[in-house]
Chain A
Amino acid sequence: MSTQVDIVLDRPEQKSEHQILNMGPQHPSTHGVLRVVLELDGEIIVKATPVVGYLHRAMEKLAESMTFHMFTPYTDRLDYLAPLANNVALSTAQEKLIGIEIPPRAQAIRVLCTELSRISAHLLGLGAFAMDLGAMTVFLWAFREREKIYNLIEHLSGARFTTSYTRVGGVASDIPEGFLSDLKAFLDQFPAQVDEFEKMLTRNRIWVERTKDIGVISREDALAYGLTGPNLRGSGVAWDARVKRPYLGYERYEFEVPVGSVGDCFDRYLCRVEELRQSTSILLQVIDKLPGGPILAQDSKVSLPQKSKVLQGMDELIHQFILVTEGQDAPVGESYFGAENPKGELGFFFRSKGGGYPDRMFIRSPSFVNLQILPLICKGRFISDVVAILGSIDFVMGECDR
């Protein structure tokens, strides 16, 4: 969060026609507290400098004095549009460090969580993107669908936003009665809604003119700038961790990875719309194939015992006490795991010196890395294009600033 605007204003050549415009941190199209310092020549952008850090909460520092379970609620506040997917990414990374396998039912529930979050996050991304370019209806429709998803998430985890649903070794509670039929009912009507969104936008002349050939990211630039998620796939790179290095049993589900050709805002939009359909298909397969069995790893040194047993059994009480006070005993060493989240690759790097507290935890945040390309693709465009570009990159500042 450096005050670059002062530096720019001090320049002697600033007496020329170039003008400085501060976009944000309170601008509605910056989706949170991003500030973009625009250096303008008339309405053309000479230089765009994103300024981040307004939402920095020192999460990595906090994690150093917390057991593995204690950090889970903080991930709800990373990408706050997909809290369930963050919970899943964190727990899967912790399990990789500790070195345990989770039961098939827990895996399937986690896939369900991730894909439900993906739909919800993409809906907000699309809705806000469309609203910034003046298509208010799509925004309202997207929020209507999101509301249904939040009702489902509340049914599943007990909370709408702050879910904290996963545990090391599995998930906190089993799927409640009636949830799957509600989810099925939602999924049955959802593809028709996606078609409606597309009817409003994909061939809408205003939409196409404002997104086509705007903010073009070439394949080479996308890779060099480390983009992940739909932003990378929009530029024609068919990289999806769910397919390339399957985790949580993603190899059991059939789905396609949409890839763009040009890498403009329109391609990124199309990729997200198609991912809505693919996630719907994955969710339907999860419902069909949902295995039975336990929802937590049957390893009493790692996963919490059932509460009903804790109140009756001595062993379970001891294990619960140790796990809550001291945490899981992680091996000495380090590991990195990156999950394919709605915004891109959310990775966790752990360095452990043994014991229940990580010595260092690093969060590889997709929004932080994706935002870096902004100066490159804004240069030479109009101010109004910045709004389209910001919408198409689809970032969340909670995750960017950590």
Chain B
Amino acid sequence: MSTLSEELLALAPAGVAATPDLRNELRFTAAASALHGFVAALRDKSFEMLVYVTAVDNYLDEPRFEVVYGLRSLARNVDARIHVPVPGEEPSVPTVTDLYPAANWMEREVWDMFGVRFEGHPNLERILMWEGFQGHPLRKDYPLLGNTPGTPGHLGKGGKA
């Protein structure tokens, strides 16, 4: 595993580091500026599938968000995960939709749920919540109780439903 990790790191632009995870899986931490180049390099090294894109909110820590990319190489039968730390103020990362069409909805979901912008995304709209919804529900500071005015089921008093 470590040799593969070194092999892939040799292709990586500056700003990428190997950070093995709990179960010793292939895991990298990349700066937002290095992300697109690194993903492109991995794709050319037989990582032909983007399995998921998600994010983690480290509320009260800085950098606040982490965008997580899961890539898979079928030929090598190995998964790689890339973590991209993003600051809490106006979070944004470059899109990878030009490399993997699958990223389109996945990135829209992260934008919808966490409010992380994907620069260069062809259609960055909400996907699970409706148009006009306020806020990003999977952020840790999104309130768990109460109704937002304008949402279906709102009682008109702003209290608990």
Contact = CB atoms under 8 A, between A and B. Distances in A.
Contacts of B37: none
Interface string B115-152: 00000000001111111000001100010100000000
Interface string A52-75: 110010101100010000000000
Contacts of A56: 128-129
A225 interface: yes
A139 interface: no
Given A52-B127, A331-B22, A369-B105, A359 B56 contact: yes
Contacts, number: 103
Taking chain A's interface residues, is the majority helix, strand, or loop, or is none over half, making it mixed? mixed
Interface string A206-238: 000000000000000001111000000000010
Interface string B27-67: 00000000000000000000011111010110000000000
Given A1-B130, A335-B21, A224 B106 contact: no
Interface residues of A, number: 43
A226 B51 CA distance: 6
B159 interface: no
A333 B22 contact: yes
Contacts of B17: none
Interface of A: 1-3, 52-53, 56, 58, 60-61, 65, 96-97, 99, 223-226, 237, 239, 244-245, 331-336, 338, 345, 347, 349, 351, 359-360, 362, 364, 368-369, 371-372, 376, 401-402
Given A60-B113, A332-B22, 19 more contacts: A1-B127, A3-B130, A56-B128, A61-B137, A61-B142, A335-B21, A335-B25, A336-B70, A336-B79, A345-B51, A347-B52, A347-B70, A349-B68, A360-B57, A364-B70, A368-B109, A372-B101, A376-B101, A401-B128
